[in-house]
Amino acid sequence: MSAVFNNGQKDGLTAGGGDLRALRKRLWLRSSMLVCSILVFALAAAWVASAFSARDANNVALQNVMTDSLNRGSLMEAYEGAKPDVPQAFAGLIESSKEEAGDWKPTATAPDTYYSLSGPVQSPFSLAVFEGGSMAFLVPPHNVISGDGDPLYGAFNWCESALEELTNIALSNRADAGKRPKPQYIKVHGMTWKCATEIAVTSPRYSKDATGDSGVSLYSDGRLEGYEKDGYLAARVYAFVDITSSVIYLRRMAMFLAAVGVAGCVVLVLVCRRIIDRALVPVAESQARQREFLIKASHELKTPMASLSSNLDALVANSAETVASQERWTKNMREDIDELADRTCRLLDLVADPERGDSKA
């Protein structure tokens, strides 16, 4: 019996020490990983939602540029003033602006409401490239024409050389792309531009008084070759929108959300640790009572069991005598059994109510 209680006491002490610490560590790690994962997912979802909103806004701006390109004048007028390359096309814009200077009247503008941007936003523009390779601006780059693209903006050096580099990159990328490529994202002189293309076809022979079929057919493969022999004038229109402010905004937002994520994870880990420590207090108290019970059981039961064992040894040693002559040994054994039963009841009371058990003890 003594060996059984010693083994139970050993097992209880082990359960009350290392196992509880391992459980605490395991719960802390898993709960911290869970809440931090939820936080990171929520922050990432917020950034992705902002990125989609910015993308949609830029796509709307591109579509507006495309629409504005066709509303500002016909392809025929643009074709008449087309030049073989971008610098000459831009020089033609400068000449046109000088010719229109005589119609200019003094004007001035001032903002009536306060607003701010992440950086200077350059005006969108569009460029038409015709079948023969000549080109003309449909929506002119006003900032370059007016001289607003000086190094005054620091990294945003929007000038004629940047305009030429941007358009040449877009033309080269589109020439190497296949059918219906995705929009281009081009970075030049510290700015990020989004470029999309559209095929525009018109019929020079169209007349309001014409009879019969006067519709325009488009090739499904997106090529420009072949329209001229069909009697059409075709051009690939390149629309450019400055998305630098969106890129800066998303970059700053990513940095801010990353900082919030790190700080939030640290706070959540500490909160999880505190909550788990509080939640394990009843478990620790229960294990403490278990250890106390095992210690008291070992102490309370050892004495009567030892006495009972001694009396049995005495009976065995005097086995030749009658039962009546050994009444004192049997009486002692009865007293030991009663004492053992009483102490067992008190131990059970200690398990049910530690305070009640202590008062009886």
What confidence tens digit (pLDDT) does each residue in 157-204 have?
A: 668 888 899 999 999 988 877 777 889 999 988 889 999 998 888 877
Question: Model confidence over 80-120: pLDDT tens digits?
Answer: 888 998 888 888 887 777 666 555 566 666 777 766 655 55
Please say if the pLDDT value at position 147 is more than 70: no
Average pLDDT of the segment spanning 247-275? 93
At 49, is the pLDDT very low, low, confident or very high (cuts 50, 70, 90)? Answer: very high
Mean pLDDT over all residues of the chain?
77
User: What distance in Å separates the CA atoms of residue 249 and residue 54, rounded to the nearest whole number?
Assistant: 9
Asked if residue 239 lies in contact with residue 32, where contact means CB atoms within 8 angstroms, the answer is no
Q: Mean pLDDT, to the nearest integer, of 288-312? A: 72
- Beta carbons within 8 Å of 336's beta carbon, 6+ residues apart: 304, 305, 307, 308, 311
Residue 74 has pLDDT above 60, yes or no: yes
- Write the CB contacts of 95 (distance below 8 Å, at least 6 apart in sequence): none
Question: What per-residue confidence (pLDDT) applies to 19?
Answer: 79
- Local confidence band at 14 (pLDDT 50, 70, 90 cut-offs): very low
Give the C-alpha separation, 69 to 27, whole Å: 63
Whether residue 120 contacts residue 144, with contact meaning beta carbons closer than 8 Å, is answered with no
User: Is the pLDDT score of 151 beyond 50?
Assistant: no
Count CA atoms closer than 13 A to 229's CA, side-chain side.
3
Q: Is the pLDDT of residue 290 over 80?
A: no
- Write out the DSSP string of 197-219: EEEEEE-TT--TT--S-------
> Token pair for residue 108?
């001035």
How much is the average pLDDT of 216-231?
Answer: 75
Highest mean pLDDT among 30-34, 221-225, 313-317, 318-322: 30-34
Q: Is the pTM of this model over 0.85?
A: no
